[in-house]
Amino acid sequence: MPKRVGMEVSIAVAETVGLCNADVISAYPITPQTHIVEHLAEMVANGELDAEFIPVESEHSAMSACLGSSATGARTFTATAGQGLELMHEVLYVASSMRLPIVMAVANRALSAPLSVWGDHSDVMAVRDTGWIQIFTENGQEALDNIICAFRMAEDKNVLLPVMVHIDGFYLTHMIEPMLLPDRVDVNKYLPPNDYPLPLWPEKPVAMGDFAPPVLYSEAKKAQEVAMGASKKYILQHWAEFGKQFGRNYHPVECYNCENATTFLFTMGSFSETAMTAVDELKRKGQNIGLVRIRLWRPFPYAELREALKNAETLIVLDRALSSGLGGPVCSEVKSALYGQPKMPKIANFIGGIGGRDITPEGFIEIINRGIEISHGTKENEFEFYGVRG
């Protein structure tokens, strides 16, 4: 029987990794992910979780250790945030191109400078190209559910790609809220043991991570990209199975109040819930705004996003990160997805909620109204900063 608990989301995530029977955890602590890995270390130390906890000297080493452990077929987990995700950057590409089913929780955090431990999406935006499957979560329940789904998706022999589960730093990691912690029996029913097809094993030796001259590299990349594209089908399948078993359904794109809407707000992650409160408030006043969120960030859900926005006349995109010299990174991807569609909405891009700056429901109402205003006029800039003084 699942248990309704009031606990910190980080602790619930760690407990869920325990329920999934992870074999190896190699991680380096960094705010705001620390509670996840500290709790996992405790669970291993007191025998609650039969796993190897490998403390390492940096995030680069953490991901490198994960490569090794995953290559032997061990169920491997790690977690990081912000600068930590950046420090392991080069190894991320290796994990995906070596097709290793590592699961990583990312406690989304702003990137320095100035130094910020607070939440935003700049760390995520820096790893868009790394070849990992990436899932956004909006509350504690989604965070722990998607850890379970992540192992299932990553280790599926038809997928074999590492998965990042994005959990907003502080806003989710440090939040005590109600969640249903599943039963171990139910998790075991959903999640079969890891069975990596070509593991490093003395009795059947293989070589991994070899050199590829120009004559082979393109073929290797095509093979990898075909797998990334094909993974979508299995991701949907595993979400559907999860929904059938646990009663909670997840989709590549999520819509709130979208029926009959022609003006849409776009958000990602936990701020979406605050945005829902704003949408409800506006609806009470007679203004109908649809809220669209991407949950499956990679592989990018072109079809579902186009479907969700097919009636959009106005679209307001909130980016919680800035691609310097370009504008909002999410907005640029959304625009590219909508390019050439029969009906392309007018789009306003806001950069807000960066470095841990809150956006209240009232703030979202301001963003929506300002967005409507500027999307219909001539825009001076590709984007506007929200809430910046001066």
Partner 1 sequence: MAKSESEITWKDLNIGCIVTEPGNASAYRTGAWRSQRPVLDTNKCIRCGLCYIFCPEGCIKLDEKDQYFKADLYHCKGCGICAKECKPKAITMVEEEE
Partner 2 sequence: MATSVTTKSQLYEVRWHGRGGQGAVTSAELVAQAAINEGKYGQAFPSFGPERRGAPVVAFVRVNQSQPIRIRAEITTPDAVVVLDPGLLQVVNVTNGLKPDGIVIVNTKKTPDQIRSEFNIIFELATVNATKIAKEILGVNIVNTTMVGALLKATGLVQIDSLIEPLRSRFGKLADKNFASMKTAFEQTVIKEKE
Report the alpha-carbon distance of residue 3 to residue 141 in Å, rounded: 12
Report the alpha-carbon distance of residue 277 to residue 316 in Å, rounded: 16
Residues numbered 85 to 144 that lie near partner 2 (CB under 8 A) are 117-119
Tell me: does residue 362 bind partner 1 (CB under 8 A): no
Tell me which of 15, 120, 273, 304 binds partner 2, using CB under 8 A. Answer: 273
Tell me: does residue 266 bind partner 2 (CB under 8 A): no
Closest CA to 84 of 28, 131, 37: 28
The radius of gyration of the chain's CA atoms, rounded to the nearest angstrom, is 21
**C-beta closer to partner 1: residue 113 or 215:** 215
Site string for partner 1, 87-126 (x = CB under 8 A): ----------xxxx--------------------------
Residue 347 CA, distance from chain mean position: 24
* Contact yes or no for 131/90 (Cβ under 8 A): no
Q: Taking contact as CB under 8 A, which single stretch among the options 142-150, 237-245, 274-282, 373-381 is the one that binds partner 2?
A: 274-282
Site string for partner 1, 131-170 (x = CB under 8 A): -----------------------------x----------
The values of phi and psi at residue 39, to 5°, are -65, -40
178 binds, among partner 2, partner 1, none (CB under 5 to 8 A by kind): partner 2
Tell me which of 58, 360, 385, 388 binds partner 2, using CB under 8 A. Answer: 360
* Contact yes or no for 60/88 (Cβ under 8 A): yes
Residues numbered 48 to 67 that lie near partner 1 (CB under 8 A) are none
31 binds, among partner 2, partner 1, none (CB under 5 to 8 A by kind): partner 2
Tell me: does residue 174 bind partner 2 (CB under 8 A): yes
Report the alpha-carbon distance of residue 331 to residue 233 in Å, rounded: 25
Tell me which of 7, 41, 56, 227 binds partner 1, using CB under 8 A. Answer: 227
**C-beta closer to partner 1: residue 203 or 259:** 203
Residue 35 CA, distance from chain mean position: 18
Q: What per-residue string of b and e applies to 332-357 under the rule 16 or more CB within 10 Å gives b?
A: bbbbebbeeeeeebbbbbbbbbbbbb
Tell me: does residue 31 bind partner 2 (CB under 8 A): yes
User: What pairs with residue 241 in β-bridges?
Assistant: none
Residues numbered 166 to 225 that lie near partner 1 (CB under 8 A) are 197-198, 205-208, 210, 212-213, 215-216, 218-220, 222-223
